Amino acid sequence: MIIYGSRMYFKKNLVRSFGECEHCGRYGKRVSYRARKFGHIYWIPLIPLGSTAQVLRECKSCKMGAHIPTHQLEPMVDTISDQFKSWIVAISEGKTELEIEPGQPPANIGLLITGILDDLYCLNEIEDITSITNVLDANNLVYERHLVMGRWFEIQGDLDQARLAFQAATEARPNEGPALFQLGLVEVLRRDVPAAEAAFTRYLQFHPEDNSPHMELLGLYEIEKDHAKLVGCLDVLFERIPELLDQKKLKKLYKKSLKKSGLQGKFAAQV
């Protein structure tokens, strides 16, 4: 039997991280690298099937990741790097918020860095966050430092430390929602149902119109097979977003949860 196929070979600049896969949804190990796809026979690379590409966040479970051709990579890296450097300069100038789009509310600079941190690390633009935290410390940005640290620990796979960092951020600014939302996301990854519910409940006090916490809890309840809470969560979502009743997967989950829990949901007659 001849063994043949194709795969990425000659991997360079490997960066290992943790995160939720964009394809299968699992949180776990990921790897980013540069490589080239070859056709192989008996695992010997023989036929190049394309140019060198950057693979971002390849999931260990499903083996899927983003493939970016080299000619597209450099402009993207330059844009991210320039953006990041401009934010560091802004911190040094004493700014804590920046207007990203005209007419939109200014964004907290700690949240901006948190949002770009994964890209910076996976693209091998930073190896750690010491230089970032030093700048934040020098400008006494305690809340922002905890946000960045929380995201960093999450990328490194240390969810317990991520939780502590986001908790510290909520204590630094108890009347703001973003840190509570990040804390809720980490609690979902930790599969701590009461803690996730507590964080999202507090978050919804500031952003009652946001449906994201309900969607996150829905996924957690499904993992935990808590059918009673699935019914309650889907009742809330169907009421807030009626078009979700058209999704076959959610209708099937709702019917199953109604049967398993013995509850009479608000939308039982519609499924």
Please report whether residue 262 resides in a domain.
yes
Establish if 178 belongs to a structural domain: no
Spatial distance between the Cα atoms of 223 and 40, rounded to a whole number of angstroms: 39
Residues 132 and 149 sit within 8 Å (Cβ to Cβ): no
In 60-124, the DSSP E strands lie at 66-69, 97-98, 107-108
134 part of a folded domain: no
> Checking DSSP bridges between strand 53-59 and strand 97-98, what pairing results, if any?
unpaired
Task: Give the separation between CA 57 and CA 194, rounded to whole angstroms.
Answer: 30
Single out the residue of 145, 130, 134, 165 nearest to residue 96, CA to CA: 145
Domain annotation covers residue 40: yes
Q: What is the pLDDT of residue 93?
A: 92
For each successive 10 residues of the chain (271 residues), what is the average pLDDT? 69 91 91 86 73 90 90 90 94 90 88 95 94 95 97 97 98 94 97 98 96 97 96 97 95 96 93 83
Evaluate whether residue 136 is within a structural domain. Answer: no
Q: 61, exposed or middle or buried, with CB in 10 Å at 0-12, 13-18, 19+?
A: middle
Give the CA radius of gyration of the chain: 22
Single-letter code of the amino acid located at 57: R
When divided into structural domains, the chain yields a total of 2
For residue 52, give Cα distances in angstroms to 8, 69, 148. Answer: 9, 7, 32
Question: Quick check: 54 and 61 in contact, CB under 8 A?
Answer: no
End residue of a domain, out of 18, 35, 69: 69
CA 185 – CA 63 distance, rounded (Å): 24
In the structure encoding, which two tokens stand for residue 15, read together? 């960066």
Which tokens in the block code for residue 34?
């540069």
Question: Which DSSP symbol is given to 98?
Answer: E
C-alpha angle with apex 91: 90 to 95, nearest 5 degrees?
A: 75
| Residue 35 is assigned to a structural domain of this protein | yes
Domain boundary (69, 90, 124) is at 69
**What 3-state class would DSSP assign to 7?**
strand
The pTM score is 0.89
What is the predicted pLDDT for the residue at 205?
Answer: 96
Residue-number span of the structural domain to which 60 is assigned: 4-69
Instruction: Decide if 155 is inside a domain.
Output: no
Domain for residue 142, yes or no?
Answer: no
| Residue carrying structure tokens 């899927």 | 64
